[in-house]
Structure 1
Amino acid sequence: MSTVSETATAPSTLTPEQVCDLPMGELLARVSGNLDTIDTQAPKLAGFDWSGFFGYIVVRNSGVTIYTPADATDAARDVYIRYLITQHLGLPTDLFPDVFEVTVFVGPNLDQVQA
C-alpha cells in the first residue's frame, strides 16, 4: 500500500473511533475526500505484484482522493478507506489489523512515483 502526498497534513479534529464509525459520506466530507478505484488487472499494470496492495491516497490542497482496487469487496474497501484516512490524519492505527503497512511518497518527483 502506498500513501502519496503533495502537502502536509493538518492536525485532525477526528478521533480514530470516529474515522471507524462515521458514515462514509460524513467521513469523506470531514476530510474533503473523494473516492476512486484503480484497475489492478489493467494491461498497462501487468507484471506488478498486487498481492499486498489495498490502496493509496493522494493529498492535494483541495482535499484527498482515496484509490482502492476496483475488484475489492465493499467491506474490504470500507476498511481500506478508513485505514488510509487514519494514516493521512496521523492518528493511531491500533483499531486496524497489525498486518497493514504504509509507504509514503512525497517531494518533487511525485509525478514519477504515480506514473
Structure 2
Amino acid sequence: MKEKQNMTDAQVEEAAKQFTILSEPARLYLLRALMEGEQNVTQLVEKTGLKQGTASKHLGLLANAGFIARKRDGNFVIYQISDPMVFELCKLMCCRLEEQARQRADELRAQ
C-alpha cells in the first residue's frame, strides 16, 4: 500500500477542477462511449443521445482538461481517451456505488 501523501493547496484546487469537469453527466456519457474506442462526434451523438452542439461543447471541455484527445481524419475529428486513469477513476466509483448498494440492501433485509 502506498504511503499517504498530503496534498498541497494547489493540488487540492486542481483536483477540485478535475472533479468539476467530471461532475457533468453528459461528460460521463461521452467518456463511457469513448471507453469503447475512438469515435467521431456523429458516433458519440448516436451513442449518448446528446445533441451535436452539446456533445461538441462537452468534448471540448474534456479535451482541454486532458481527459480526451482529438485528431483530424479528413473531414472528421476523432476523439479518444488520452488519460487511462479515467478508467481507474470510473472503476473505483463503480465499485463504491456497488458497495453502497450492497450495504443498503443488507440494511433493508435486516429490518
Name the structure with the higher strand share.
Answer: 1
Calculate the TM-score normalised by the size of structure 2: 0.26
Q: Which has the larger radius of gyration?
A: 2
Larger RCO: 1 or 2 (CA < 8 Å, sep 6+): 1
In the superposition, the TM-score normalised over structure 1's length comes to: 0.25
